[in-house]
Amino acid sequence: MTEPGGPEVLRYTNISVPELEPGQVLIQVEYAGLNFTDALARRGAPGYASG
């Protein structure tokens, strides 16, 4: 999420693999979900979206 709004503002982005520090692990995410609070944040609802 780079900005609030509907599906028209969604963008696929590639990110680089982070460099791990000692004691850290890297977890590959296969699936992810959203809850209603995520939807409110995407809409830009007051109190849910950060600046």
Note the pLDDT of residue 5.
79
The 10 Å CB-count burial string (b at 16+, else e) for 23-42 is eeeeeeeeeeeeeeeeeebb
Query: 19 or 40: which carries more pLDDT confidence?
Result: 19
Cα angle, residue 17 at apex, residues 16 and 23 outer, rounded to 5°: 150
Residue 1 reports pLDDT greater than 80: no
Note the pLDDT of residue 34.
77
pLDDT tens figures, 7-31? 888 888 888 988 999 999 999 888 8
The chain-wide mean pLDDT, for the chain, equals 83
Average of pLDDT values for 36-47? Answer: 80
